[in-house]
Structure 1
Amino acid sequence: MNIALDNILSRTKGDRWIWLIVILLSTISMMAVYSSTGTIAYQHDTGAERYLMKHMFMIFGGIALMYISHKLDYRYYAGISKVLMAITIPLLIYTLIFGSHVNDASRWVAIPGTGLTFQTSDLAKLALITYLARTLSRKQENIKDVKQSFIPIMGSVCVVFILIALANLSTALMLFGVSILLLIMGRISVKQIAVVCLAGAFLLAGVVLLGPRRATYKSRIEAFMHPEHTNSDKSFQADHAKIAIATGGVFGKGPGNSTERNYLPQSYSDFIYATIVEEYGLIGGLLVIAIYLFLLYRCVKIVTKAPKAFGALLAAGLSFSLTIQAFANMAIAVGLGPVSGVPLPLVSMGGTSILFTSVAFGIILSVSRHIDETTGENAVGKEGSLKETNKRESNKVVVGEIEMA
């Protein structure tokens, strides 16, 4: 058993704490999903084990992808980012026109022959972040140049933002925020960043006021700002999420004892944090928050140690994306924001979103692995130099002793 464990550990590289975080979040996810799918399983006359097995299959598939991603040198992702962007933009357009419509939103594309669907916005997040990291790192010498640097960067951010926002505004806003953080880290001038923000605000206003889901956005904002004057049907999910959290208390009702899972339509995905707090109480909720905060801390350490700008920007963008999404999900569950379809990374039940999240973790670990290998090589080099110096000094002493004799 120990030999097998040592063999596995020897093959996994990068920050060990991030591997532990992935295991903890996956364990919490399986427990919460198994508990929260009891109602939907009853409605479909099946067992909750069926949903758990499907979810576990996605988790183990995600861990496999994370392992493969972390073994690939992160510098290869610079070239891959161009391919991803070339695929992403046409795919986002295809999704808006021919994608599957759920709740008046066209976010999903069917994968032929598998029966699975995936949100193209998950691929777009990965593509834009890697592309921005590549572009910002390679154009540092002329980063202030409008034609060579600013226009390509601004164009990629705004195009991806508008294509995602038409169907999934919350994801688009988070990705836009991450992009701005990367522009700041990439030494883009304040004036240019202000221009990007103004362009984003203009596009946002157009989507909210003229977009195909303007009625949905308006009703959700009204339900959040004035819940006392809102139809109970529109605030149904938010109300029951608050009830779940309020009745959880300090220690919770215990695993599998949630009652609000019978009322929350998305208790296993968008509102899984409310289910966790109801069953595990304030302690469980704070534990999940602490895990994501610790993840951010470990990723920041990787960013500060990365020897190259591309690695630092890549790790920063992906880690900011994961943690911002996590805290947005938890904020919505506790009533700090309007309802939106934002899953909790590696915890919410999902299909391909888990796979894309796992790839993001793998890329971060790839950067961390490169740092460890570089540090190890430097340490070996220094040790070799020290041994050589000691050897020369020792020879001098011996020669001196012979001459004195």
Structure 2
Amino acid sequence: MAKKMKVKHFYDFSLVVMVFSITLFGLLMLYSASGYMAAKSDLGDMYYLTRQGSFAIAGFLLMLLISRFFDYHWFSKLNLILYVLAWGALLATFVMGVASHGSHRWIRLFGMQFQPSEVMKPAVIIVLATLLTDKGYRINSLRDIFRTLLYALIPAAVVAFTNLSTGMIIVGIAVFMLFVAVKTYRYHAALFLLGLLAYLGAYPLAIFLQKVKILHDYQITRILAWKDPVSFPDDTYQTRQGLYAIASGGLFGKGLGESIQKFLMPEAQNDMIFTIICEELGLVGAVGLMLVYALILFRLYEIAKNARDLFGSFLVIGVMAHIALQAILNIAVATNSIPNTGITLPFISYGGTSLVILLAEIGICLNVSWQTTLDREKGE
């Protein structure tokens, strides 16, 4: 008899389980890291946990909604609208931004604060995925590379006024997506050289930007303190306490909830939460967390590789770059490999906007996997 084709949808449940697990782990570590300081500030020891938990629930609902009831191709049609909306939110920080830690990164709406620069990350991913798909994987000149990069470089430059680290991540996402899109080896070399020059020239450029009043004093102080921590004891206090936490954790750690340094570190639940993980769970726990990140990135790679079209592949590649860069830079800050930048650890650090955006991006990736059909021939 004639063979019939049975079409099945592929939904990456393993990715869902890993993201759910790492987020749940993040809530556990968040409570451990923040409970004492929250209680000391008369907020109640559950303050940060309940707020982050609320964002986690909202994020997972959004993730599931996008993954099953949206079509990721809608983002291609709406890419410029989303990009303009992200720009509007970003520029609003200069008018109605809420000051915190020397910068205006947040906007308060309906009694809640959110960080518009986080919204720019998926907006750039979507607009670049659309552009690269329209070009049909063809980037034929350095001019093409530069023109495409402008969609990330301009917002990154604006973001850098208030949030230098997020600006770096936006550029990093764009460079990674272009690196994948470019087929010519000399352009790969050009992108690699661009990254190397950016790394080598970061410090002198920062000094210059501070002198012409583009970088804020607190931003340049972080760089100077990293180079010469002895001369800036107050500015390196958090970093030094984090290094003590990592060193005291040893191989297996002191045990969950048994950190000592969290009593000395203000806001340990933010970008320094990795050091508390190291102290309480040791090297084994830290490596285990890195393996979970690696597994998440591997699942995203598989989804990108098997996506039904280029647009889906580039969307997932952009999300891969976002998660990888943010995790690497956060761990580099925690270990004092680079200056303190305020980058959160994906799915774990306190930060509602970051968590919801990351879960929404995972929802997009799951939607790409859902629309990947597995053809099976069934005959008699």
TM bucket normalised to smaller: 0.7 to 0.9
The runs of 5 or more residues in structure 2 that have no matched partner are 1-8
Aligned partner of 1:186 in structure 2 is 181
Residue pair 1:104, 1:213 contacting (<8 A) in 2 also: no
Q: Structure 2 matches for 1:1-400, cutoff 5 A?
A: 14-71=11-68, 72-111=70-109, 113=110, 115-140=111-136, 143-144=139-140, 152-187=147-182, 190=186, 194=190, 197=194, 207=209, 209-227=211-229, 229-371=230-372, 374-375=373-374, 378-379=375-376, 382-383=377-378, 387=379
Q: What is the deviation of 1:216?
A: 2.2
* Secondary structure in structure 2 of the residue aligned to 1:346: coil
Residue pair 1:303, 1:315 contacting (<8 A) in 2 also: yes
When structure 1 is superposed on structure 2, of 23-32 and 218-227 the one drifting more is 218-227
The runs of 5 or more residues in structure 1 that have no matched partner are 1-11, 391-405
Write the deviation string for residues 50-105 of structure 1: whole angstroms up to 9, x where unpaired: 33222211111111111011111221121232211111123222213431121221
Residue pair 2:25, 2:348 contacting (<8 A) in 1 also: yes
| Bigger helix fraction | 1
CA distance in 1, matches of 2:93, 2:127: 21
CA distance in 2, matches of 1:28, 1:230: 37
Q: What is the deviation of 1:257?
A: 1.3
CA RMSD of aligned residues (A): 2.6
Q: What is the deviation of 1:209?
A: 4.8
Aligned partner of 1:7 in structure 2 is none
Larger radius of gyration: 1
Q: What is the deviation of 1:143?
A: 4.2
CA distance in 2, matches of 1:351, 1:193: 38
Residue pair 1:183, 1:193 contacting (<8 A) in 2 also: no
CA distance in 2, matches of 1:31, 1:310: 36
* Secondary structure in structure 1 of the residue aligned to 2:108: strand
CA distance in 1, matches of 2:36, 2:26: 17
Write the deviation string for residues 209-240 of structure 1: whole angstroms up to 9, x where unpaired: 5344342232212222222x322101101100
Q: What is the deviation of 1:155?
A: 2.8
Write the deviation string for residues 148-198 of structure 1: whole angstroms up to 9, x where unpaired: x65652331221111111111111112211101111222276569959949
Residue pair 1:33, 1:52 contacting (<8 A) in 2 also: yes
Write the deviation string for residues 116-143 of structure 1: whole angstroms up to 9, x where unpaired: 1111111000100111001110122874
CA distance in 1, matches of 2:60, 2:236: 36
Q: Which amino acid aligns with 2:235?
A: K
Summarize the Cα distance change of 1:221–1:360 in structure 2 as closer, same or farther, 3 Å threshold.
same
Aligned partner of 1:397 in structure 2 is none
Q: Which amino acid aligns with 1:338?
A: P
* Secondary structure in structure 1 of the residue aligned to 2:344: coil
Q: What is the deviation of 1:27?
A: 1.8
CA distance in 2, matches of 1:359, 1:122: 12
Q: Which structure has the higher relative contact order (CA within 8 Å, separation 6+)?
A: 2
TM-score by length of 1: 0.83
Q: Which amino acid aligns with 2:26?
A: S
CA distance in 2, matches of 1:243, 1:344: 19
Summarize the Cα distance change of 1:151–1:326 in structure 2 as closer, same or farther, 3 Å threshold.
closer
CA distance in 1, matches of 2:334, 2:180: 31
Write the deviation string for residues 235-282 of structure 1: whole angstroms up to 9, x where unpaired: 101100001111111111111111111121221111111111111111
